[in-house]
Amino acid sequence: MEQGMQPQAMVQGVAVTLGEARLAMTDEGVARGDGAFETVGVWDGRPFRLHDHLERLASSLAAIGLPPTDLGLLAHEAGRLLARVAPPNPVRDGALRFYVTGSGTRVIILSPPPPRPVAHWLVPQPAPWIRPLGTYAPAGAKTMSYGPNMAATRAAVRAGGDDALLTALEGYVLEGPTFGVLWVRDDIVHAPDVALGIVDSISRRTVLEAAGAAGMQVEQGRYGLDALAGASEFLICSAVRDVLAILRVGEQSFPGPTPVRDLLSKSLERARRA
């Protein structure tokens, strides 16, 4: 986003500055974290894979039993928000966030990319709230109740790391609190199966597609931390991040080089700015 550009918001279709955006304390989204959200990357002024994000928002609402929202209306409002920062102050790179709360409130925020300290060391943390698809309805939903995810990040930082690598009760590697994960072992790109109940990361989908298109073998499955032994690269990604190489997970180091990261990062950048 251009230097000096004020973040913008839209609450129930009414455009305001972010400072003016208000949600009542009695809104279920605030009071109970009841609702669903999406964070969409904006690159060169265009939201990347907006349709996929809105579809995921619809799935998240359905998974927690909330009524469907009007996706066309949200896309239209996002377009209005992006147009508000049209030339002479065009939005370039930023984050478009959508919230739909249990009270039916729609909020969209357009802001510069959030500052994200680069994570080098992930510390495994149990995530007993992430359960396989089909075992309970909210599995895989991107809900507004992110307290457990944030607590996992804090626990990892207390343990000396930069962020958490969430693991299932059964020990399977899942995802980060705000990012998807993948790793390279024996020239095969491995990623946790979305059926484990992780967020179906859209940036991860993009990079796995890119890996396949580049002729790499891609495997999605259920892997324990022991599957990371012998991996040459461990990578994270999200809608507002590049594909980033992690140097260490627990006691396992990935000293580099990172040719797969470099290739996937270029592909993701190309796709985002196409």
Binding site for ligand PLP (CB under 6 A): 39, 149, 175, 177-180, 199, 201-204, 237-239
| Least Cβ distance, residue 138 to ligand PLP (angstroms) | 13
Give least dist CB 108 to ligand PLP, A: 16
Closest CA to 157 of 121, 190, 133: 121
Nearer to ligand PLP, 84 or 131 (CB): 131
Find the shortest distance in angstroms from Cβ 102 to ligand PLP: 19
Question: In the complex with ligand PLP, which residue's Cβ is closer, 15 or 133?
Answer: 133
Nearer to ligand PLP, 66 or 182 (CB): 182
The minimum distance between CB 23 and ligand PLP, in angstroms, equals 20
If the CB atoms of residues 15 and 71 are measured against ligand PLP, the closer one turns out to be 71
Please, which residue, 81 or 236, has the CB nearer to ligand PLP? 236
- Chain position carrying tokens 């279920």: 28
Closer residue to ligand PLP in complex, CB, 204/261:
204
Q: How far is the CB of 3 from ligand PLP (least distance, A)?
A: 25
Contact 233, 261 (CB under 8 A): yes
Tokens of 270: 């190309």
| C-alpha distances in Å from residue 113, one per residue of 37, 41, 58, 63, 98 | 17, 8, 24, 28, 15
Nearest-approach distance from CB 79 to ligand PLP, in angstroms: 20
